[in-house]
Structure 1
Amino acid sequence: MSGYAVYVWGSFAAGLAVYLWNLIAPRLRRRATLEAIAEAQGDE
């Protein structure tokens, strides 16, 4: 890779991090939303 391996693999790592965040973030947000709904229904 003629000395550019750090940049190439760094780009792959950054892309993987973004991909994983796109998988995990909606699940975390859904869980928080469901907990908030359950809490709001429990207060009534």
Structure 2
Amino acid sequence: MQWNSWSEFLAMGGYAGYVWGSFGLTLLVIICEVFALRLRRRKAIARVKQLQSWSDQGLEYQE
């Protein structure tokens, strides 16, 4: 597909809503995934520190 101007490019041949909407949704999902990963990492590190603390005190973890 060829575009003769930026406005034609942005209009995407009449499918701009679908094209740019999919790009926007993908970006939103990636951003949410980064924040979710950061949260899970913090929780995992806190859990490891807690278990290490218990181990240092001679306590055992039981589920």
TM-score, L = length of structure 2? 0.58
Q: CA deviation at 1:4?
A: 4.1
Q: CA RMSD in A?
A: 1.4
Show the counterpart of 1:30: 42
Gaps of 5+ in 2: 1-10, 57-63
Q: CA deviation at 1:37?
A: 0.7
% same residue? 9
Gaps of 5+ in 1: none
| Structure number with higher helix proportion | 1
After TM superposition, what 4+ stretches of structure 1 lie above 3 angstroms from structure 2?
A: none
TM-score, L = length of structure 1? 0.76
